């Protein structure tokens, strides 16, 4: 996975062990009285961390954006705890929660694809399938098992983002990686009249959803 998704955050997973090894080597050289070499290596690592790695860290970016644009974050409650999340994500979460509860709020009654596993905790429900990421191509056998899971749990609501593809690769779009599952969803579920940001769409089961999203 590290080399198939070579963005900064995945590459950083391989950089951390290198930094630890370089730090150990710097200490070793210092103990051997090779002070110049040790200091050069230490300063190089410090520059790498402070100039390249630290500014791109999620926490650093969060603090910067919150200071410059505080309206981009809102508070939500989950299991009696408060969380600060991007306003766009909060909008998706709240709309999904409203639709889920209107549909019946049954355990296993919600699916998010190709990603968004945190919504299951927010809705206090289990996913119909064991795997909660739909980012890579799957065999017809696995997709059929996921269809069987939807039927078994009588899943009433789905949150889909058909246009999302990891690293922007069209070959990894949901329609390419899970065409059989998507075909089943489009033929057995109806798209809700609810507008969501970032390409997300809500689908509901006419048979299982008590009150379709967007309808009174």
Token pair, residue 202, equals 């809500």
3-state secondary structure of 109: coil
CA 178/CA 37 separation, integer angstroms: 53
Residue 72 lies inside a defined structural domain of this protein: no
Residue 95 lies inside a defined structural domain of this protein: yes
Residue 210 lies inside a defined structural domain of this protein: no
Residues 100 and 156 in one domain: yes
Token pair, residue 59, equals 């926490």
Residues 100 and 13 in one domain: no
Yes or no: say if 163 and 111 are a contact pair by the CB < 8 Å rule: no
Q: What is the pLDDT of residue 178?
A: 93
For the segment 93-136, what is each residue's pLDDT rounded down to a tens digit?
999 999 999 999 889 999 999 988 889 999 999 999 988 889 88
CA 96/CA 105 separation, integer angstroms: 11
Residues 107 and 31 in one domain: no
pLDDT above 60 for 3: no
Yes or no: say if 5 and 135 are a contact pair by the CB < 8 Å rule: no
* Mean confidence (pLDDT) of the chain: 85
Residues 128 and 170 in one domain: yes
How many domains does one find in the chain? 2
End position of a domain, from candidates 40, 56, 72: 56
Residue 47: give the domain boundaries.
Answer: 8-56
Residue 71 lies inside a defined structural domain of this protein: no
For the segment 141-163, what is each residue's pLDDT rounded down to a tens digit?
999 999 999 999 999 999 999 88
For the segment 46-57, what is each residue's pLDDT rounded down to a tens digit?
887 777 677 767
CA 140/CA 178 separation, integer angstroms: 8
Q: What is the pLDDT of residue 5?
A: 56
How would you classify residue 69: left for phi > 0, otherwise alpha for psi between -120 and 50, otherwise beta? Answer: beta
Residue 199 lies inside a defined structural domain of this protein: yes
Cβ count within 10 A of residue 177 = 20
């Amino acid at each position: 996975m590290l080399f198939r998704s070579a963005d900064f955050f995945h590459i950083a997973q391989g950089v951390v062990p290198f930094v630890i090894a370089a730090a150990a080597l710097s200490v070793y050289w210092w103990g051997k009285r090779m002070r110049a070499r040790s200091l050069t290596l230490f300063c190089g690592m410090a520059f790498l961390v402070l100039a390249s790695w630290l500014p791109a860290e999620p926490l650093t970016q969060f603090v910067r954006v919150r200071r410059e644009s505080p309206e981009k974050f809102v508070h939500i409650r989950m299991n009696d705890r408060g969380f600060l999340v991007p306003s766009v994500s909060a909008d998706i979460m709240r709309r999904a929660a409203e639709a889920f509860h209107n549909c019946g709020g049954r355990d296993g009654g919600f699916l998010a694809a190709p990603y968004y596993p945190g919504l299951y905790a927010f809705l206090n429900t289990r996913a119909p399938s064991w795997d909660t990421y739909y980012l890579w191509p799957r065999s017809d056998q696995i997709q059929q098992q996921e269809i069987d899971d939807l039927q078994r749990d009588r899943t009433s609501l789905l949150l889909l983002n058909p246009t999302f593809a990891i690293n922007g690769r069209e070959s990894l779009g949901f329609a390419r990686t899970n065409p059989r599952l998507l075909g089943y969803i489009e033929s057995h579920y109806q798209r809700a009249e609810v507008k969501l940001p970032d390409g997300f769409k809500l689908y509901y089961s006419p048979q299982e959803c008590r009150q379709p999203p967007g309808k009174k």
